[in-house]
Amino acid sequence: MKSKFNLKTVEELLCYRLIDQSLFVQALTHRSASNQNNERLEYLGDAVLDLVVAEDLYLRFPEADEGELSRMRASLVNGDTLAKLAREVDLAEHLILGSGEMKSGGHRRSSILAGTIEALIGAIYLDGGFNASQAFIRHLYLREYEVLSLDDALKDPKTRLQEYSQSRSLPLPGYVVMSIVGEGHQQVFTVECAIDTLSKGAVSGEGRSRRKAEQSSAAAMLVRLGVD
């Protein structure tokens, strides 16, 4: 896939026009393409994103305690959610990648897409300040906020398992689709969950979608780990 980077199109997709347009170029440039890449902007954007989402959740859920707020924030700022948001705005077409990364399908890689979203947040913060980055994040997360529920967040085994891993400095859980049986709406997914370095081994779960199967396998891992 050849990059279709176009500054005007990127501005339209993100609903933001940069004063310093070179920041967009840097934010979309992966380290495989140049030494002037988006890693520092990604670091900055990650911090800004955490703050904005934390404040939004604090105001939206006055009845939630610290642990509940932390779990909801983790579900919103994790790599899977960020990559999904990047795909929703067709960001993949505008990534600036090195030839090797381009050939290996880097534009589809969730980690690259997630990092690029964070870098764009960092770029907007530097360009327009906190208010501009806050407005951009709220626009980007509009649908996520609309469907967010405290009850759903508390029932999310993937979020709880990720929090468990991070609190113990363990690798993040990995999920692999082992099989898909059936056709159309009758499909049943089997997903295996494992955490590298743990001796507990892998566990599996089933569901009518990949997401539900991942949640099921995460729940099984929590049980195996003895996490309430």
SS3 assignment, position 6: coil
| Strand ranges in 124-211 using DSSP code E only, listed in sequence order | 174-181, 188-194, 203-207
Residue of 118, 156, 192, 214 with catalytic role: 118
Residue 46 is among the residues annotated as catalytic for this protein:
yes
Radius of gyration of the chain (CA): 19
Residue of 42, 46, 156, 163 with catalytic role: 46
CB atoms within 10 A of CB 227: 13
Q: How far apart are CA 18 and CA 7, in angstroms?
A: 10
- Any residues with CB less than 8 A from the CB of 181 and at least 6 apart, and which? 187, 188, 190
What is the helix (H) or strand (E) element at residue 125, kind and residue range? helix 110-128
Residue 12 is among the residues annotated as catalytic for this protein:
no
Q: How far apart are CA 185 and CA 69, in angstroms?
A: 34
Instruction: Give the catalytic positions in this structure.
Output: 46, 118
